[in-house]
Amino acid sequence: MDIVTAQEMYERDRVAMEAAGLDGKMLMENAGRAVTYDLLRHIRKEHTIVVLIGAGNNGGDGFVIARTLLNLGYDVEAWQVVPDAKITGDAEAHKRIFQASGHPYRLLKSSEDLNTSLGRADVCIDAMLGIGVKGRLKEPYVDIVRLCNEKSIVRLAVDLPSGVPADEGQEDFEAFQAHYTSIIEAPKQSAFLQHTQPYYGEWSVVEIGIPPKQLPDPRRRLWDGADVKRTLPERDAHSHKGSHGKGLIIGGSPLMPGSVAMTARASLRSGAGLIAVSTDPEAIPAISPYVQEATFVEGRDGGQVPDLEGYDGIAFGMGFGRDSKKENVVERLIEEKETPLLVDADGLYLLKGFLPALEKREAPTVLTPHPGEFAHLSGLSIKEILNSPFSHSKNFAEEHGVYLVLKGPSTIITSPDGEQRVDISGNAGLAKGGSGDVLSGILLSLMMQTEDVWDALSNGCFLHGTTADLLVQDGHSKVDLLASDVIEGLSRTFRTFSS
Ligand SMILES: NC(=O)C1=CN([C@@H]2O[C@H](COP(=O)(O)OP(=O)(O)OC[C@H]3O[C@@H](n4cnc5c(N)ncnc54)[C@H](O)[C@@H]3O)[C@@H](O)[C@H]2O)[C@H](O)CC1
Ligand SMILES: [K+]
């Protein structure tokens, strides 16, 4: 499923009309009807419904939705919240159809009247503003949105909640707080940002007849279970431990032995053939009982860096510490340019001074920062990153020729050529120490088992989050879930998604 900006959405509309001969009124009828049937899951026959209709085509959708609900016998009050003069084009055409169908509508004169109507309603459908919103809401929308948000009614939004910008990059807004949003055709970037996603509530996407084959590729898409089933490699029954990758994990320290232990165990649970751990010798007694299948390798000539040859993948950084005296490890890892390398956690802090050298590497380099670590790497503030995660991660990945996994409730996985996939699996139970170590282990393992690193990273993020979701569904809670629970839950998830 593509993820689009407002501009890309308008372009899709244009292509649909030019290439497929669809016209705006047909698209609006399709959109309104599809949204109605999608929203019916949240509406009961006995509900009183207020439909709020704005000035643009989002409002036009609102006339189609109100008409469809009335045709189905629902108790609907359609409120046009802007003067008649502002209802133009396709929206006006559908207003005429609405009226010709014998349905009345209310014209907003004072917010008191609307307040009374909302006071009697069970459901409010927001068809005021969609992707055409510019800047902060102007009156009368501010007043109306506040009235709706303070009422204890079910709030449903059409395409996106009024006031929420479609695109990343805008933090100053006031918006309709939807419980549920029915998105038209393709999710917009704001459905994936930490400061705008909450206004959507839950969301799903309705198809309105736009021909996918004719559409420009936005190079941004949602990675879902069907993609995982299609691309997760099958384990060859005649395989042997050497064929699923021999991985090296460099990290851990006497005070943080658990990190590499979880990375190693997660990697083996995800199908790695052999895992060697290079860590401070003092940490080994705390690690080996937890992951008996792992072997340990010592640094060469008493240093921290073991022999790097002969591995199918290396993961570096978890629990390693940020002591700049350890930077020689980073230099050696970059010089070992033939082996796929994943850098996480403390490794990202140590890597900062060596970013230009990454271009020397031929094998894939994967960085897996959370926003704080990405801020340190990129020099951006966390606020800037959260405001525009798509463009900042795309620019960084292209500039340094790396795969970038920017972790969060919506994890954006960017390839070195700037194409992006988003994983929205997972839950707040993952916002705990160790989650990142487990993810790194899963990613290392999948990277070694498939030619396509990007598929490996996309699938690894999805399997990690989905395991947490399955565990929370079956008995765990978001409070008690531990990173180590996710490791043990992986086998069930792999069974579900391996063909
Ligand atoms: N293929 C599709 O995606 C289809 C989408 N449809 C719906 O059309 C809207 C986009 O319609 P558009 O007319 O371009 O914009 P809006 O309806 O969002 O509103 C524009 C309207 O609002 C005024 N406005 C802009 N900013 C503000 C503000 N800050 N405060 C107050 N008013 C503002 C502006 O002046 C315009 O009058 C899309 O979201 C879908 O819902 C089609 O119906 C079907 C095909
Ligand atoms: K809306």
DSSP-derived letter for residue 273 is S
Q: What is the pTM of this model?
A: 0.95
Atom of ligand 1 nearest to the CA of 13: 1
pLDDT at 241: 63
CB of 81 shorter than 6 A to ligand 1:
no
pLDDT at 304: 67
Strand, coil or helix: 48: strand
Atom of ligand 1 nearest to the CA of 210: 1
Assigned token pair, 380 = 């951006």
Which uninterrupted H or E stretch holds 496? helix 483-497
CA contacts within 13 A on the Cβ side of 187: 25
pLDDT at 235: 67
Look at 323 and 364; give whichever has higher pLDDT.
364
pLDDT at 305: 83
Top-tier CATH class for 225-497: alpha beta
From start to end of 70-169, where are the E strands?
A: 75-80, 106-107, 123-127, 154-158
Using 50, 70 and 90 to split pLDDT, how confident is the model at 264? very high
**Average pLDDT rounded to a whole number, residues 246-275:** 94
The CATH 3.40.1190.20 portion of the chain extends over 225-497
Q: Is the pLDDT of residue 238 over 80?
A: no
CATH 3.40.50.300 is right for the domain spanning 6-218: no
Are 16 and 209 within 8 A, CB to CB?
A: yes
The CATH 3.40.50.10260 portion of the chain extends over 6-218
From start to end of 306-438, where are the E strands?
A: 313-316, 341-343, 365-367, 403-406, 411-414, 420-423
Using 50, 70 and 90 to split pLDDT, how confident is the model at 78? very high
Whats the size of the chain, residue-wise? 499
Distances (CA, A) of 334 to 39, 179, 328, 361, 364: 53, 48, 10, 6, 11
Closest CA to 340 of 449, 462, 228, 231: 449
194 Rama sector, left if φ>0, alpha if ψ -120 to 50, beta otherwise: alpha
- Ligand closest to Cα of 58 equals 1
User: pLDDT tens digit string along 292-324?
Assistant: 999 999 876 556 688 899 999 999 999 998 887
Q: Which residue's CA is the closest to the ligand 1 atom numbered 15?
A: 132
Pocket test of ligand 1: the residue of 18, 184, 210 to mutate, having most ligand atoms within 8 Å of its CB, is 184
Using 50, 70 and 90 to split pLDDT, how confident is the model at 151? very high
**Average pLDDT rounded to a whole number, residues 263-283:** 94
pLDDT at 301: 57
